[in-house]
Amino acid sequence: MVDGINPARSPADLRLERRIFAASHGRDLTPEERETLERIRPPRTYPVRLAVQAYDGPIAMLPVAQLHVRDVPDLTPPEGKDLLQVLWCPFDHPIMPRTLLFWRSAADVTDILDTPPEPPAVQFDGYLPEPCVLEPEQITEYPDHLELSEELREQLKQWSVPQAAEEDMDPDTYYDCVLSNAPGWKVGGWPAWNSTDPSPRPCSECGTGMEVLMTVATFEEGDDAGNSWSPHPHPGAGPYPGHRGYNATGVQIGSGYRQHLFVCPAEPEHPHIELMT
């Protein structure tokens, strides 16, 4: 579905817009560039008519991630599978893209398309991932403070006071910013509870408690974590202006959140769930 406030645009137009912004960084736009951008995003007239438009028939989904077990050892696929492909529909369902998970054997993937099919339109430019080469880095993180006992929270708070003072940080947020909830895209680990409290997440098929498979993040580093989670060496800014912080993927979840994908550890092919935090 497409709302009447945010007109959907084609992937080709969004990529062209990104190229123009990247090429014009540090200089004024040329008349030709301005004309092209106005074609892609015409000046908005008010009032906006709150109409809803529906696309008839199925549309192609966009690739989000392709992960090999050889590169991500902690990935636990079903038996006989060594490849995970994540796709999504670039429209809100209802507040974030809907994902599909495909567990496959890499040896069985022989018919590779040079140009994969694409949807005719994308609701938000942040739902069109920018192609990236992954450089997996194994890290250690800890649960969000909301998942800890009150006794352990108090111990961490006392321990954090001198640690936070050394880095000129708030001791109340030091643990979450520096030790838990690593920002950025990741496989496994712990969910961040920035906008909601922890809640049970049982598998709809067998009742097993679900675990984080993957996190799709808007930013690769947080605002208040200092250099604790910064990619090293720092690769620079994202592919185009409009996002704060480092964002090589061009993805934006909500107004800067994360999309967690939870799977059943007993059977990864059971239906997964999505949660924005």
Please give the order of strands across the beta sheet that includes 98-104.
62-68, 83-89, 98-104
> Half-sphere exposure of 95 toward its Cβ, with a 13 Å CA cutoff?
10
Residue given tokens 């352990």 in the structure block: 152
Segment 27-35 mean pLDDT? 95
pLDDT tens for 187-237 read 999 998 877 889 889 999 999 999 999 999 998 876 554 556 766 555 544
What is the pLDDT at residue 244? 42
pTM comes to 0.83
Answer whether the bond into residue 47 is a cis peptide, omega within 30°: yes
DSSP one-letter code for 216: E
> What CA dihedral angle connects 157, 163, 169 and 172, to 10 degrees?
0
CA distance 180 to 176: 5
- Which carries the bigger pLDDT value, residue 55 or residue 110? 110
Instruction: State the first-to-last Cα distance of the chain, in angstroms, to the nearest integer.
Output: 23
CA distance 136 to 185: 10
Across the chain, mean pLDDT equals 85
Question: Would you place residue 51 in the very low, low, confident or very high pLDDT band (cuts 50, 70, 90)?
Answer: very low
pLDDT at 88 over 80: yes
What is the pLDDT at residue 49? 41
pLDDT tens for 202-212 read 999 999 999 99
- Nearest Cα neighbor of 64 from 83, 82, 89, 45 is 89
What is the pLDDT at residue 222? 60
> Half-sphere exposure of 104 toward its Cβ, with a 13 Å CA cutoff?
13
pLDDT tens for 150-169 read 999 999 989 999 988 888 88
Please give the structure tokens belonging to residue 11: 């992937």
Segment 96-111 mean pLDDT? 93
Residue type, 212: V
Cβ neighbours for 61, distance < 8 A, ≥ 6 positions apart? 87, 88, 89, 90, 100, 119
What is the pLDDT at residue 237? 47
